[in-house]
Amino acid sequence: MSALSTVVVVTWRGRDHITACLDALAAQKSPHRMIVVDNASDDGTAELISGHEVVRLPRNRGYAGGLAAVLDLVDTPYVAWLNDDAVPDPSWLSELENALEAEPDAAAATSSILLTDGSTQSVGVALTSDGYGKDVVLAGREVFGFCGGAALLRTSELRAAGGVPAGFFCYYEDTDTAWRLRLAGHRVISVGPARVRHRHGASTRPGSPLFHRWNERNRLLMLLRCAPASVAVRELARFLVITALLPVRKDVPDAANFRIGLRLRVLGEVLIRMPVTVVQRLVIGARSKVTRQRVWRDWAGR
């Protein structure tokens, strides 16, 4: 039986958890191809994955960069994204494949991602009224977007929508991709029986300055690329105003994303990328079949 899917696992210094991920993939009921992308690990990970199909990058290009680096190598109808600290159930891949086979207008299927204590981390991603992507733990069949830690996408539709935003490095590559798939007229579905256990934060540190820098920067870049112009300008202006008022505020939250230095760096990185981002926005708009306003009206704040 030929494989329907290629599972891409991106790793960086994954020595302590990647073996469990790869063992779980070996136990999948559905035949598949697997590509491990090693982001120049220097902790012994390379030795642990040496028996698999490995693409070793010369430097750490992040999760988004790793996915983008091997998209052209995928020769199956579906491509799965899987975190190296995730352990899927044996039926995980077959559940996702069956769901997409049954619903041809869906371009992506997201999993039930459980934390190690059994609680739910995500069954899909919602779009908030201020343009953030937010994991949801209760959802119907259809969701705005997928969690990139464990999802299955149609390879041809991903490529047609522009692939993976490699420059994001880490975070929001999934929500940005969901935006573009929806602009192309496709659906995203949640598949409850496709379960994955996730050691959340094993590869990155949620709440750290780097985490907030990537999140804030990539949210703004995503909106500038995909959202209605009024929304993108509003959120960029709001970010600027909040940053400018921080020195005189008395109730500043004690979080890294409210530190002036971090926010100024985010603004600088967004401004440097602005010319390229505007070109990307025009390209995305030119190939869209659904208006940005329609997607925003249908999904923001739900």
Beta bridge partners of 135: 125
CATH number of the structural domain spanning residue 71: 3.90.550.10
Number of domains in the chain: 2
Q: Is 13 helix (H, G, I), strand (E, B) or coil?
A: coil
C-alpha 24 chain-centroid distance = 21
What pLDDT does residue 242 have? Answer: 96
Q: pLDDT averaged over consecutive 10-residue blocks of the chain (302 residues)?
A: 94 95 98 98 94 97 98 98 98 98 98 96 97 95 98 98 98 98 98 94 73 96 98 98 94 91 97 98 98 98 84
Give the residue ranges of DSSP H helices in 71-123. 92-102
Same domain, 232 and 143: no
What pLDDT does residue 106 have? Answer: 98
Same domain, 56 and 172: yes
Q: Is 10 helix (H, G, I), strand (E, B) or coil?
A: strand
What pLDDT does residue 302 have? Answer: 79
Full residue range of the structural domain in which residue 267 is found = 209-299
The amino acid sitting at 176 is D
Residue 34 lies in a domain: yes
Same domain, 178 and 280: no
Beta bridge partners of 83: 10
Instruction: Please give the model's pTM, rounded to 2 decimal places.
Output: 0.96
Same domain, 180 and 237: no
What pLDDT does residue 250 have? Answer: 86
